[in-house]
Chains A and B, each alone.
Chain A
Amino acid sequence: MSSGEALATPGAALARAGPSSRLDIAGAVLVACGLFLGLLVALPLAWLAFFALTDKDGAFTGANLARLVTDDSLAAPLRISLIVATSVGAISAAVAAPIAWFVARTDMPGRNLVRVLITASFVTPPFLGAIAWEILAAPNSGLLNHWYRWLHDLPPFVHLFDIYTVAGLIFVDSCYAFPFVFVLVANALDRMPADMEDASAILGARPWRTAWRITLPLALPAILAGMLVAFLRSLTLFGTPAILALPGNFHTITTKIWSLFQYPPNPGLAAAASIPLLLLTIVLLQVQNRVLGRRGYAVIAGKAGQARLLRLKHWRWPAFGLCFLVLCLPIGLPYFALLKAAITTTIAEPLSLQTLTLKHVRFVLFEFSPTRLAFQNTVVLAVATATTGTALALVVSYATARRLVAGHRLLNFLATAPIAVPGIVLGVGLFLAYTRGPVVLYGTLWILFLAYLTIELPAAYQQLQSAFRSIHPELEEAGRLFGAGRMRILRDILAPLLKSGVIAAWCFIFIGVMRELSAAVMLFTAQTKVISVVIYDLNESGDLGAISVLGIALLAVTFAIVYLAQRVGGAGIGRTARPA
C-alpha cells in the first residue's frame, strides 16, 4: 500500500464530485468516518462503564469503584503501575532524546545503523523482550549472572541482577518504550529548520550552547509528547508484567485485571480497575494540548532552510559508542539470548558444537500445528489494519488539524482515547459487544481486526496529525491563490509532504499489530490464533527454544515488510523526508 492509496479516500470523493457538491461529499465522508470512529471507540467503552457501575443483577452500584480505594489488593497494583509508568516515561525521554539529537543533528558515524537498530527494538514485541531478559537476567539461570559468578568465582545463587522485580520491569519496559520517544523527537529535529540555530551561531554561541538553548526548547514538545506516549504504553502494557511480575510476587494493574477474568470471572471489578487509567489519560492529553496548543509549531513553511549538522569532531566515535552500547540492551543482548535458546538443547548449556541442535526449529516449523495458520492470520490482520487505519487516521487528522468540521474536538478525543484503554479491557469490551446480536463477530478475524484498529489508531492519528500541523496552511493558501483546486492542492502540495508521514503511520500500525498481545489473548479462537498468543502460550509452559524460533521469525517477517513499505515510500520510522 502506498501513500497514494491512503490519500485516495478523501481525494477520490472530492474528485468525483462536481464543483457545487464538492463540500457535501467531503462532509459526508467526514461524517461517515466520525460515526465509524464513534462506534469503534464508544461501544467497548460504553460496555466498560456499564459493567463498572452495575452489579450482577444489572442494578446501579458504586461498590466496584469504591473497592479500588479500599481494597489493597487493587490499590497496590495501581500504585505499582503508576510508579513503573512514570519511571518508564522519564527513562525513555532521557535515553531517546540524546540519541535522536545525535542521529538527526550531528555528524556522528553510523547514524543509519542506529536508526535500523531502533526500528528493530520498535518491532520487537515487549513480551518477547521480557522473555529474552529472563534468559539473560533471571537471578540464578540468567546468562549475565552466570558470567558474573564465573568472573568473580562466586558460589551459586549469588547474583548481580534480578529481573523479577519492579526495577527489572521498569528496565525491560523502557527498552521497548523509548523508540516511541525517539520517533517523535527525531521527526521533530529532522523537520526543524536551521534558521534559529544559524542565528544563534552567528551571534557567537558555541555549538553546545546552541543545542541547549535553541534546539532543546524547540524539541521539547516532541519530547513531552513522547514521554506521554511511553508513560501510557507502559501503564496499559500486559505482556511484560505478565512474564516478570508473577515470579516476583507482585501485580500491576493490567495483570490484576487479567486475573479478575480467571475463573470465577469478575468483569465489573476489572472494568472499574481500568477507569482510573482512562481518566488519567484524558487529563494528561488535555494538559498536553494546553501546553502545545499555545504555541505554533508549524516548522515546514514556505522558506524552510536545510538543517546543518553539528560537527562533533573527536566526540564522533564516543557518541556512536554510547548509542551502540545503549542499543545492546533492547536488541544486542536479547537477540543473542534468543538465538542461543533457539539453537541449543536447553538454555542452561553452554554454546558448543555438542549442544547445537535444530530440534526447536524443526518443532516450530514442522511439528507444531498452529505455526502456519498463526503467521498467516497475523500478517493478514496487520496489513488490513494498517491500510484501513492509515486511511481513517488520514481523514480524521485532516479534519481536526484544519478544523474542517464543528465536532473536531470530539473527533480528536475519539481518535486518541483508545490509548488509555488497556488492551485486555478493550478485548473484553469488544467481546461483550460482538458476541451477542445483531452482529456476532467472535470467532472470526473481524473482531481482532476491530480490536487492532481501535488500539493502533491513536499512534497513526498522532503521527499524521503532527504531520498536518507541521505543514503550514500557507502552502495550501499559496496553491489556492494560483488557482489550484482542492484536489490539485492535495495531489501536488500535501501528498508529497505527507508521504513520509503516511508511510510511517502505516508502519506504526503494522508493527503494532504484529506485536499486540493483550487484546488478542482475550479474543482469539483456535482458528484465529495469532503469533503473539502462540508465543504467550508457549511461555506459559516454559518452552524457551520454540519461543525463540518463533520470535526470531516474527522479527524477520515484520522487518521485511516494514523495509518493503519504506522502500515503496522512500521514508521510514523516525525518519522524515526533508522538504526539498
Chain B
Amino acid sequence: MNRSCNPRRRALALIAAAFVASAAIAPAAALPEPSPVTPALIEAARKEGKVVFYTAVDIEVAEKVGAAFRAKYPGIEIAVERSGSERLFQRVTQEYGSSIHNVDVINTSDAAHYLLWKRQGLLASYLPEEVAKHFGEHVDPDGHYATWRATLSPLAYNTKFIKPGEAPKSFADLLDPKWKGLMVKAHPGYSGTILTATAQISRELGWDYLRKLGAQRIMQVQSSTEPPKKLAVGERPIMADGNEYNLFILKEAGNPVELVYPAEGTPFIPSPAGVMAKAPHPNAARLLQSFLFSAETQQLLVDAGGLRSVHPAVKEPAARKPLKDIKLMRDDPAAVVDKVEEIKANYAKAFGT
C-alpha cells in the first residue's frame, strides 16, 4: 500500500463508519463469504452473453467503463444505461412494478436508494473478494452493496471572470448580493447527488440559509454533471453545487475552472453499486460487480472520471487536493431516506421550482 494513501483512507474510513453505522438498522451480521472471480464464473457469464448496467456516472466515464469491460471479457455484451439517479430510481420502480427485470447491476448517487431497495429485497447479497479485502467499512453489512465511487459537491468559479482572491470561500459568501444572478446549481428533484448535498447543507446550515440562497436568482439545471459544464462555458461564473469529478475533468482539459472547498465543509456523496436479486444475467452481473470494484476499474474512475475511490491501491493525481485535507460534511442516508418529500417541498419553496 502506498504511504500517501493512508491518511486519505483514514479520512474516508471515518465518514464511511458514520454512513455504515447509521445504515445498519438490522443487527450487524457477519459479512457473507467473499467471492473470487473464478474461471467457472467467467464461463457462466459468457454463456449468458450479456449484462445490463444502469449507472448515474457521467456518460463518457460510463462508456469507458463499458469499453474496459468489453476488452477484458470479450463475448459478453455490456449495455450501459446512463441516466440521472432519481430517474434511474423511477425507472426501476416502474419496471419492477410491472415485473420487468431488465437491470443486472445498478449504481446511483443516492445512497438512500440502496436502503429502500434492500428493504424491498431487490438487491442480491454478493461480496466480491476485492471488496472484502480492501473496502473495509464501505460495504453494506450484508454484502448487498458497496461504495463503488464517491464524489464531492464543492463550489467553483470561472477564472476568466473572477480572480482567485475575489472568489467566494464559503457557503455564507454565496449570499453576498454581488453574486446575485451569477450562480448555477443543479436540482435535487432530478439529481441524487444534489439531493444528498441539499440534505447535508440543510442539516449543517439550516433551511434559512437555503431560502436566502434561493433569493439570489440562481440558474437551475437538472443533473449535477451540468453545473460544471455551464461554468466552463461561462454561462454563470460561480457554481453553487455540482460534481467535483466533472470539475476535475474540465480543469485538467484546460478549461478556466477552479474548485473551492467551502469553509463550512463540503458535501460528501458516496455512490454505491449492487447486484439485483432478480438480475436476468446473474453470473454476468456478479462478474461485472467484481470488475467494477477491481483496482484497475477504480483507478480508471479516478484517472478518467475524476472520482474519489476508497480502494487503497488507487493513486490520486498530484494536482487534486487529497481528501484528507478537505473538511467534509457527514453523509447520513438513513436520515434522508424517509424525508425525501419534505426536503423537496422545502427546496421548492426556497427556489421556486
Contact = CB atoms under 8 A, between A and B. Distances in A.
A264 B341 contact: yes
Interface stretch (B12-20, B55-63, B261-269): B55-63
A245 B221 CA distance: 10
B301 to A, nearest CB: 16
Nearest to B59: A541
Contacts of A347: 233
A490 B251 CA distance: 68
B232 A348 contact: yes
A141 B94 contact: no
A440 interface: yes
B102 A525 contact: yes
Contact of A262 (B66, B86, B102): B86
Contacts of A246: 187, 220-222, 353
Given A525-B100, A538-B59, A263 B235 contact: no
Contacts of B175: none
A543 B293 CA distance: 27
Interface string B223-245: 10110011011111100000000
Interface in B102-124: 102-103
Nearest to B227: A542
Contacts of A540: 83-84, 190, 222-223, 225-226
B67 A367 contact: yes
Interface in B68-94: 79-84, 86-87, 89-90, 93-94
Interface residues of A, number: 45
Contacts of A369: 63, 66, 79-80
Interface residues of B, number: 55
B182 interface: yes
A347 B189 CA distance: 27
B43 interface: no
Contacts of A348: 232-234
Nearest to A76: B352
A227 B98 CA distance: 40
Interface in B334-353: 340-341, 348, 351-353
A343 to B, nearest CB: 16
18 contacts: A73-B348, A140-B237, A141-B230, A157-B161, A249-B353, A262-B189, A264-B341, A265-B90, A265-B93, A347-B233, A442-B95, A442-B98, A540-B83, A540-B222, A541-B82, A542-B230, A543-B60, A544-B229
Given A248-B219, A259-B353, 6 more contacts: A140-B234, A156-B234, A369-B66, A538-B59, A540-B190, A540-B225
In order of increasing CB-CB distance, the 4 nearest A-B pairs are: A435-B98, A542-B229, A141-B235, A542-B226
Interface of B: 52, 58-60, 63, 66-67, 79-84, 86-87, 89-90, 93-95, 97-98, 100, 102-103, 161, 181-182, 187, 189-190, 217-223, 225-226, 229-230, 232-237, 255, 340-341, 348, 351-353
